[in-house]
Amino acid sequence: MWLYVLELIGISVFAVSGTLAAGRKRLDLIGVLVLALVTAMGGGTVRDLLLDRHPIIWLADPIYLVVIIASAFLTMAYVRWRPPPEKSLLVADALGLALFSITGAQIAQRAGMNPVSCVLLGAITGSAGGILRDVLTAEIPMVFRPGALYVSAAIAGTTAFFLLDRLGVLQPIPMLIGIAVVAVLRLAAIWWQISLPVFRFGRDDQS
Amino acid sequence: MWLYVLELIGISVFAVSGTLAAGRKRLDLIGVLVLALVTAMGGGTVRDLLLDRHPIIWLADPIYLVVIIASAFLTMAYVRWRPPPEKSLLVADALGLALFSITGAQIAQRAGMNPVSCVLLGAITGSAGGILRDVLTAEIPMVFRPGALYVSAAIAGTTAFFLLDRLGVLQPIPMLIGIAVVAVLRLAAIWWQISLPVFRFGRDDQS
Amino acid sequence: MWLYVLELIGISVFAVSGTLAAGRKRLDLIGVLVLALVTAMGGGTVRDLLLDRHPIIWLADPIYLVVIIASAFLTMAYVRWRPPPEKSLLVADALGLALFSITGAQIAQRAGMNPVSCVLLGAITGSAGGILRDVLTAEIPMVFRPGALYVSAAIAGTTAFFLLDRLGVLQPIPMLIGIAVVAVLRLAAIWWQISLPVFRFGRDDQS
């Protein structure tokens, strides 16, 4: 129950992020709603397709669609009056990333995947929505470009989760620590501008 | 039988649309054929993957591939001689959208989905092919950008289909009315330039 | 066993190609690794999703991920010292394409698909990784643009494979000839600059 509410909060935050991304691209109302849906549900959908888990959650339970569409409309209404609270959004997005990564990794574990695949599927659950959002607006995904840790925070947190679980620490402690590691790493990376090295080679295509 | 022929017509129209889109991008023959295939079969493929329906139709029945490839070659031959009949193509595309949306929604219904998901899957069936076509040519999808109603026409028509079906109206009346609503809305929107509001916010990325 | 080693070589080559593509885009370390993974495993993943084959190979067997990540790191280290051996890479990529296309077509055949679908799935297995790599870097896929034969070489080789198999030639002869046809056609096309005709129509979008 508690997880369900947290997951809906995560979905709502990602829907807000998709809506704001759409606002910079002059899309119409449908474009905004599709971007909100893709950003919020993309990660879970890719994970479920890869794991062959059916029915896909948002097809089975319409509350997901309702939360996403309501979040998109509230965001559009809000930014007519004043700019969105950037800092609160970053914190909320970090929590969404943390929650999606750890629950994604747990779902992969329950499907019998090995730990390496679980970590990868956790990272996919947390970040594929944002990647699809950027692809649909013809951008190189934000998470691939130089900037504060994102996917790497998800990988660190899911790895911590699995190590503690292997060491026999009882749930929900590994889960809570995993979520905390992702969120704290992500926020610390924003605060102190910690980023991964950039790999640059040959002719530069970025014009 | 009648539905099967209509579906092949819809596929053929979408293949023509993919071919013409490729023509503006200086692609080679393979690029053109892939865009024709993706535009025509993308919507049904995404729907079938989400619903876990297998085998995917165009893998099971080679006639689909034959129709698409023939349509692409005929289009390439035709436009060497004269410009394509824009108006006939818009009407045909509206019919393709209408047919794919309603049949997509019906297939979702038969798979036991709730009405909200069925409407969404209908809209996905009708529009995902065009979205993939635009992503593969590194464009923001046409259906997200300001312009005459497209996805919204599909949503209105599939909603009408479900309401009539719920009210106990016997098939095929809800189906035919649903198809008519999509096609008429789409064509009226082109004719009277009806479009959805644009949501614009913050720094504009469109350079 | 022999096939397994060849497949790992193919995966490694495609991971190198993804890494080098990332180097031209100023991505960070995660971006490079994701591009390497997507380039190497994208084709097989799309094939397996379309055929409903589960578990997806790289989720079941972590050796694939290890080979890809090691290849990406070795590539990044190597190009700090000197430029990569372009010619050896082209030969290796042609072998990767050949191997992935023929094994992809065989897997489709074993899944009971008709020959037309098998050829198509072989071509998808060989080229979808590169297409996804280009989409994720906001480029029109290289294989759609004018240039030396690529997808068409894969189609020719898988077609030769099926014709020989139909004529009753015993395995592994059709397989080896199929692989040779793809690789030789690809390399000959690079050497003599053989390319498919370009289809160009109407207003040119390429600015």
Q: Which of residues 129-168 of B touch A (CB under 8 A)?
A: 131, 135, 138-141, 143-147, 150-152
Stretch A70-90: mean pLDDT? 86
Euclidean distance between CA atoms B170 and B157, whole angstroms: 17
- Top-ranked range on mean pLDDT: pick from A14-23, B77-86, C196-205: A14-23
Whether residue C178 is predicted with pLDDT greater than 80 in this model: the reply is yes
Interface contact flag, A117 C29, Cβ < 8 Å:
no
Report how far apart, in Å, the C-alpha atoms of A106 and of each of A103, B51, C166, C190 are.
Answer: 5, 23, 47, 47
Lowest mean pLDDT among B153-157, B196-200, B203-207: B203-207
Whether residue B207 is predicted with pLDDT greater than 50 in this model: the reply is no
Q: Which token pair is B165?
A: 């079906």
Chains that touch C (3 or more CB pairs under 8 A): A, B
Nearest to B26 among C195, C196, C200 (CB): C200
pLDDT in tens, B150-159: 999 999 999 9
Stretch C119-143: mean pLDDT? 93
Percent of chain A topping pLDDT 90: 60
Host H or E run for residue B38 = helix B29-51
Interface contact flag, C32 A199, Cβ < 8 Å:
yes
Host H or E run for residue A28 = strand A27-28
Tell me which of B96 and A85 has the higher pLDDT.
Answer: B96
Stretch C36-64: mean pLDDT? 94
Euclidean distance between CA atoms B192 and B185, whole angstroms: 10
C207 confidence band (pLDDT: 50, 70, 90): very low
Rg (CA), chain A: 17
Euclidean distance between CA atoms A113 and A104, whole angstroms: 12
Tell me what pLDDT residue C204 has.
53
Interface contact flag, A65 B202, Cβ < 8 Å:
no
Q: Which token pair is B191?
A: 């004719």
Nearest to A206 among C25, C56, C76 (CB): C25
The label of the residue with tokens 């990647």 reads: A131
Stretch C30-57: mean pLDDT? 94
Task: Count interface pairs A-B at CB distance under 8 A.
Answer: 103
* CB B60, CB C121: distance < 8 Å: no
Whether residue A207 is predicted with pLDDT greater than 60 in this model: the reply is no
pLDDT in tens, A5-45: 878 888 999 999 899 888 888 888 999 999 999 999 999 99
Backbone angles phi, psi at C198, to 5 degrees: -95, 140
Tell me what pLDDT residue A84 has.
77
Whether residue B26 is predicted with pLDDT greater than 50 in this model: the reply is yes
Tell me what pLDDT residue C24 has.
82
Residues of B in contact with A135 (CB under 8 A): 135
Among chain C residues, the shortest Cα distance to A203 is held by: C24
Question: CA end-to-end span of chain C, whole Å?
Answer: 49
* CB C64, CB A116: distance < 8 Å: no
Euclidean distance between CA atoms A64 and C102, whole angstroms: 42
pLDDT in tens, A124-137: 999 999 999 999 99
